[in-house]
Amino acid sequence: MTAAGTLRFSKMHGAGNHFVVLDLRGGRAAPTPALARALGDRHTGVGFDQLLTVEDPATPGSVAAYRIWNADGSAAQQCGNGARCVAAWLQRDGAAPGARFRLDSPAGPIDVEALGAGRYALGMGRPEFRPERIPFRAHAEASSYELHVNGGSLHFGAVSMGNPHALIEVPSVAEAPVAILGPALQARPEFPESVNVGFAQVLAPDRIRLRVYERGAGETQACGSGACAAVAVLVRQGRVGRHVQVELPGGTLEITWPTDDAPITMAGPTAFVFEGVFPAP
């Protein structure tokens, strides 16, 4: 915080997924939805996919907590690219001096490893396929589901990585109707909390291309939890192996899921873009 009525922020990105980071440690007030929308506006504000607030740790042993706000002002439960940026921000700040530390996310604790050169690896937790935990209204758990969307039959996998994801495999992500099927699937009543919609093209057992239409943000250049979700669904369907390079429009993430009962690990880059001051509304 700087002068009264203004906010100091950091602009960052992780594989093209871009963020504004606010320091709210010391009990500073959380942003209102109106402030999040004002900051997130790409024409009159700073512009971001998500707003990240760095806060005092919630559990012993964690160096800090963070929360996530979408560009429309709604709260989110998880953001892997954002978590890496928070980790880099805390290391620059001196609050996380070691190579390994823990963060408190809205979806639970996350273990972080600094890999050097601005790269970080995160333990993203175990994927949750039970429909009621996603949440997704289905008669029974399955590796693939079918819904009628926009007059056609749509097949997809569903999983939670701390936030809900649906994954559609497509022949070509370049030609996938992301802007049509993304919001159409989000609006389905079977997803009571909406859903992040991924479109995956399998190139090899260890490489896929991915585009993601996110809740509250639309299509983004990268989605860390979406990359983890895509690999989890495709592993379960027998389409890829346990270590996968996920090529997103903004960059590549490395996703590893050693066994079904192990957490998924995500590794990828971070970057500081600029520092600024915003006149709060």
Residues with active-site annotation:
79, 223
CA distance 255 to 246: 7
Half-sphere exposure (Cβ direction) of 208: Cα atoms closer than 13 Å = 34
Q: Is 50 annotated as a binding residue?
A: yes
Q: Is 80 annotated as a binding residue?
A: yes
The label of the residue with tokens 């809740």 reads 215
Q: Is 214 annotated as a binding residue?
A: yes
Q: Is 5 annotated as a binding residue?
A: no
Which of 206, 200, 246 is closest to 224 using CA atoms? 246
Q: Give the β-pairing of 108-116 and 145-149.
A: unpaired
Q: Is 67 annotated as a binding residue?
A: no
Q: Identify the burial level of 215 via C-beta atoms within 10 angstroms of its C-beta, where 0-12 means exposed, 13-18 middle and 19 or more buried.
A: buried
Q: Is 150 annotated as a binding residue?
A: no
The torsion angles phi and psi of 186, rounded to 5 degrees, stand at -60, -30
Binding-site residue ranges: 17, 50, 70, 80-81, 163, 196, 214-215, 224-225
Extract the annotated binding site for substrate: 17, 50, 70, 80-81, 163, 196, 214-215, 224-225
